[in-house]
Amino acid sequence: EQITLLHGSHRVGKRSDAAMEKWRGYGLGQFIHWGLYAIPGGAWNGKQYNGAAEWIRSWNGIPKSTYDSLNYSFNPTAFDAKAWAKTARQMGAKYVTFTTKHHDGFCLWPSKYTKYTVKNSPYKKDIVKAVVDAYDQEGIDVILYFSVMDWNHPDWRYDLKTKEDSIAFERFKKFTRNQLIELLTNYPTVKGLWFDGTWDKSWVKQAAFADELETEMRKLRPGLIIGSRFRADENGKRHFDSNGVLMGDYEQGWERKIPAKIEDVHGNDWDCVMTVPENQWGYNAAWNGHIKTGNELIEMTARCVSMGGNFVLNFGPKGDGSIRQEEIKLATEIGDWMKINQEAIYNCEYAGYEKQDWGYFTKKSGTDKIYMVVFNVPVSAALRIKTPPKTIIKKAYLLADTQEVFSPEEISGDEYFLHLKKREQSKPFVIVLETAKAEKGNGTKYE
């Protein structure tokens, strides 16, 4: 049974306002991790660090003070926010999530509340503003990433063990609130905040403070979108409160992983944030292990959209501000596919069709238009379709060439085979099903 919570979730079920509807329809997004960590690029004194490059400060071999002084070396002469935004546009990203401050505490905007910002670097200029303006001009919405955990700030604590800890952390809480209000005030067009670094006990114990701060931010920016990772409830429960209700506006737990099946998303909105290598968010000069291909990333995008989520692909620009060739190449490959098939991704949702091995169903929100995003053509070249009950398939055709029409063979109640002509496939393709609900009448399938 439900318990009374003061600082649990304040909403049951999906948000239905226009801002959230737009977010729900994005389908494909870009994450950008950029900061001082891009300067070492995963190596220090010629030694490669195997962990995630944005965590290099935490590597034993590095004197923290030396890392912390990297702001004096930060001068990205190749930084061009407009070029970044064009790459995102080329890929077909509808939104970008951009690191304003990662765990190292370095601020890519000239914050008034700390000296550890771009202002105190050779570069000097406001990078967050450049990114927000460039992406706004490309018509790509901006969400700001913000790490609560801040290794640079003297009042950051992992836990509150002593009176001094608590006194320091009270200062840190004020600092955090000031920075968040500053970001929302400086960059009023941003659509949301993507919080990170909120798992330590110090912050988890701040249920009331974080709840009030979330309320204050939503009041300052009506429609603001905040995920489930920002705050815990008064029992320390994160992402889902003590009654199992989702915190925030969408589930923010799918980091480098995708739900296996629709049941795992519990009817919530969600995003999946994904790295190109196994686990590198910031620039790492040496990409090791499996590097995801364009086809893999297109499949991840379709899989997320087929279960009602957004797929957010990470880019880690170099210390000089340029984007590495491998990422440019992937953006182009994904974008070329999206140019032909974007109708099956944008403003689409879970179709309610039984999952099949050949790929994924998506449904255009608010319509009965179904998309079959095909990755694995069976040796039979027959694509099985199991529709929800009382569904009529009126038309079936290739999205890329609507002249290529199919007549699905009915094999049993609500079950069909769609027979493909034998052909060589090198890229996933999309088949459109125009459907209708069988009218009530004499109960037969077709009226």
Ligand X SMILES: C[C@@H]1N[C@@H](c2cn(-c3ccccc3)nn2)[C@H](O)[C@@H]1O
Contact set with ligand X (CB under 6 A): 33, 52, 54-55, 196, 255, 273, 281
Name which of 52 and 432 has its Cβ closer to ligand X. Answer: 52
Strand order in the sheet with 348-349: 348-349, 359-364, 369-374, 429-437, 391-398
Non-local CB neighbours of 209 within 8 Å, separated by 6+ positions: 173
Name which of 255 and 333 has its Cβ closer to ligand X. Answer: 255
Residue 234 CB, nearest approach to ligand X (Å): 24
Distance CA 167, CA 149 (A): 17
Q: Which tokens belong to 8?
A: 């649990």
Distance CA 196, CA 206 (A): 15
Name which of 161 and 257 has its Cβ closer to ligand X. Answer: 257
Residue 176 CB, nearest approach to ligand X (Å): 17
Residue facing ligand X at closest CB distance: 281
Name which of 116 and 361 has its Cβ closer to ligand X. Answer: 116
Q: Do 359 and 353 touch, CB atoms closer than 8 A?
A: no
Residue 326 CB, nearest approach to ligand X (Å): 19
Name which of 225 and 348 has its Cβ closer to ligand X. Answer: 225
Name which of 56 and 323 has its Cβ closer to ligand X. Answer: 56
- CA-to-CA dists, residue 191 to 23, 107, 197, 430, angstroms: 9, 19, 20, 31
Residue 281 CB, nearest approach to ligand X (Å): 4
Name which of 97 and 347 has its Cβ closer to ligand X. Answer: 97
Q: Where in 17-104 does DSSP place strands (E)?
A: 28-32, 43-44, 47-48, 95-101
Residue 255 CB, nearest approach to ligand X (Å): 6
What is the residue type of 176? T
Non-local CB neighbours of 240 within 8 Å, separated by 6+ positions: 9, 228, 246, 247
- CA-to-CA dists, residue 95 to 27, 192, 271, 310, 420, angstroms: 9, 10, 12, 10, 35
Residue 321 CB, nearest approach to ligand X (Å): 19
Residue 97 CB, nearest approach to ligand X (Å): 9
Residue 388 CB, nearest approach to ligand X (Å): 36
Name which of 34 and 337 has its Cβ closer to ligand X. Answer: 34
Taking Cα atoms as reference points, which of 205, 202, 246 lies closest to residue 227? 246
Backbone angles phi, psi at 235, to 5 degrees: -100, 10
Segments in 229-324 forming alpha helices (H): 294-306
Distance CA 317, CA 281 (A): 10
Residue 54 CB, nearest approach to ligand X (Å): 5
Which secondary structure element, helix H or strand E, spans residue 360, and what is its range?
strand 359-364
Distance CA 50, CA 432 (A): 44
Name which of 103 and 191 has its Cβ closer to ligand X. Answer: 103
Residue 196 CB, nearest approach to ligand X (Å): 5
Name which of 54 and 211 has its Cβ closer to ligand X. Answer: 54
Burial of 218 (C-beta count, 10 Å sphere; 0-12/13-18/19+):
middle
Beta strands 28-32 and 309-315, pairing class: parallel
